[in-house]
């Protein structure tokens, strides 16, 4: 699951899982994944503003769909955006590879929308991303805002800890560093859960995103939180989990 440090982007509710997170040492095999649906409350500066639902579905032997949708809560109803994102991806011996990424904020504008095709045979990504034309040479393991989460999940289920992960950012690629910090048992809507805490940071950024991943729940994050230096900007807390 890649974090997103740009607060206005449509992917912020999903990459949060980031559920934030690309190329992992060793191959990512489809048999390490299982379909699931998870719902999270998104808390912005201490106030609940949305509920985000993320759903992983298998479409073929090595093809998966990972989608995110968000509905406002509390102060969030004052904003018109209803973000919806979907990544079609392939999981196999080459690792996790996005095939097509689409995003919309639910409004009539395209400033926060995206429609990007990943052609791995040609080695290029093309389309539009938040109003910017995309024509980008792909490097091994690069992900979109959603597939990076599945790359993380797949790696953890196979016993790998991610280190350097990459994600498309408009017409460029950003690299993120990941590290395992500690184990922690936390209280959640699902009860007390043992987790492993991973941290992610873009080199030079003051923001750090942490993921409380639960081994007993297939490493699905129970909590995700972003801090700018020592100040918490947002937190996502698990509300429900089906299928894992």
pLDDT above 80 for 119: yes
pLDDT greater at residue 214 or residue 111 = 214
pLDDT of residue 29: 39
66: β partners = 56, 87
pLDDT of residue 81: 60
pLDDT of residue 192: 97
Which of the four pLDDT bands, split at 50, 70 and 90, describes residue 5? very low
pLDDT of residue 56: 95
* Residue 173: HSE in the Cβ half-sphere, 13 Å Cα cutoff: 20
| 75-104 pLDDT per residue, tens | 777 665 678 999 999 998 888 999 999 999
pLDDT greater at residue 10 or residue 234 = 234
Q: What is the mean pLDDT of residues 95-115?
A: 84
CB atoms within 10 A of CB 236: 28
CA dist list (Å): 91 to 141, 148, 192, 219: 11, 12, 32, 17
Domains in the chain with CATH codes? 12-242 (2.50.20)
pLDDT above 90 for 178: no
pLDDT of residue 108: 56
- Which of 160, 174, 25 has its CA nearest to residue 95? 25
Q: What is the mean pLDDT of residues 36-50?
A: 92
Q: What is the mean pLDDT of residues 142-170?
A: 86
Q: What is the mean pLDDT of residues 66-75?
A: 87
Question: Which backbone phi and psi does 207 adopt, to 5 degrees?
Answer: -100, 140
Residue 98: both structure tokens together: 């996005």
Q: What is the mean pLDDT of the chain?
A: 83
pLDDT of residue 17: 38
pLDDT greater at residue 211 or residue 3 = 211
Reported pTM: 0.81
């Amino acid at each position: 699951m890649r974090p997103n440090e740009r607060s206005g982007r449509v992917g912020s509710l999903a990459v949060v899982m980031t559920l934030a997170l690309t190329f992992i040492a060793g191959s990512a095999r489809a048999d390490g994944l299982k379909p699931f649906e998870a719902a999270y409350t998104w808390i912005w500066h201490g106030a609940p503003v949305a509920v985000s639902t993320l759903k992983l579905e298998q479409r073929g032997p090595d093809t998966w769909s990972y989608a995110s949708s968000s509905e406002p809560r509390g102060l969030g109803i004052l904003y018109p955006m209803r973000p919806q994102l979907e990544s079609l991806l392939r999981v196999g011996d080459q690792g996790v590879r996005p095939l097509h990424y689409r995003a919309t904020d639910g409004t009539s504008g395209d400033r926060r929308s995206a429609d990007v095709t990943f052609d791995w045979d040609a080695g290029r990504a093309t389309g539009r991303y938040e109003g910017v034309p995309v024509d980008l040479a792909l490097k091994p393991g690069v992900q979109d805002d959603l597939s990076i989460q599945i790359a993380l999940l797949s790696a953890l289920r196979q016993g790998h800890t991610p280190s350097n992960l990459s994600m498309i950012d408009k017409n460029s690629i950003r690299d993120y560093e990941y590290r395992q910090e500690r184990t922690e048992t936390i209280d959640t809507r699902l009860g007390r859960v043992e987790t492993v805490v991973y941290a992610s940071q873009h080199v030079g950024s003051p923001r750090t995103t942490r993921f409380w991943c639960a081994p007993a729940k297939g490493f699905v994050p129970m909590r995700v939180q972003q801090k700018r230096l020592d100040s918490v900007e947002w937190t996502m807390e698990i509300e429900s989990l089906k299928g894992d």
